[in-house]
Structure 1
């Protein structure tokens, strides 16, 4: 299927490079670590949103942005680049956080599907 190569969610060139140089087991471990860490990042982002902490919001979005880049989640990374600098009011950030959680779930499913196909 040629559609996989044009997947906007994942940096397939980066991920294929990981597979070639590190092997599938290491890539699976990297992904498992991402899944563990992202739960922490999302909790921290939510905490910053609830406390209306601009610096906390920026810091935790930045950390999650780095994690998404390391596992080739392009679309999620781009979303976090925008969120990180957001000065939206507290209520709007709650909506942004909900969208981020959904996008993260989708990115995880996309990554799992890609990895299972290898």
Structure 2
């Protein structure tokens, strides 16, 4: 999957114009670390069937994904934050989000290798 599918290249190229590539790499590293914590929180919200916590944690990760330029992850979280579906559905969506997030991170890493 190409970077153009997963990444907001306008945003990231803007970062590249204003910031050193090492800062962008640090930004991605921070996102990877934070998204792992967000995913744990989202999973916990599903396990405890806590809709309020689900919305809060999806909202936090949504903002982080947007700031990192991960457009498909952001779009998925826009939807998930508002979903009122049952726990089984949310469990499936967590797995899909985890996979999508991994693909987006890989796309960003590949983009960085080309710089």
TM-score by shorter chain over 0.5: yes
1:35-114 to structure 2, matched below 5 A, reads: 35-114=32-111
Q: Following TM superposition, where does structure 1 have runs of at least 4 consecutive aligned residues deviating by more than 6 angstroms?
A: none
Deviation at residue 23 of structure 1 after TM alignment = 1.2
The normalised TM-score by structure 1 is: 0.94
Would you say how many aligned residue pairs link Structure 1 and Structure 2?
114
Q: CA RMSD in A?
A: 1.0
- Which structure's relative contact order is higher, taking Cα pairs within 8 Å and 6+ residues apart? 2
User: After the TM superposition, which residues 6-25 of structure 1 pair with which residues of structure 2 at under 5 Å, given as runs?
Assistant: 7-25=4-22
Which blocks of at least 5 consecutive residues in structure 1 are unaligned? none
Structure 1 residue 49: Cα displacement: 0.3
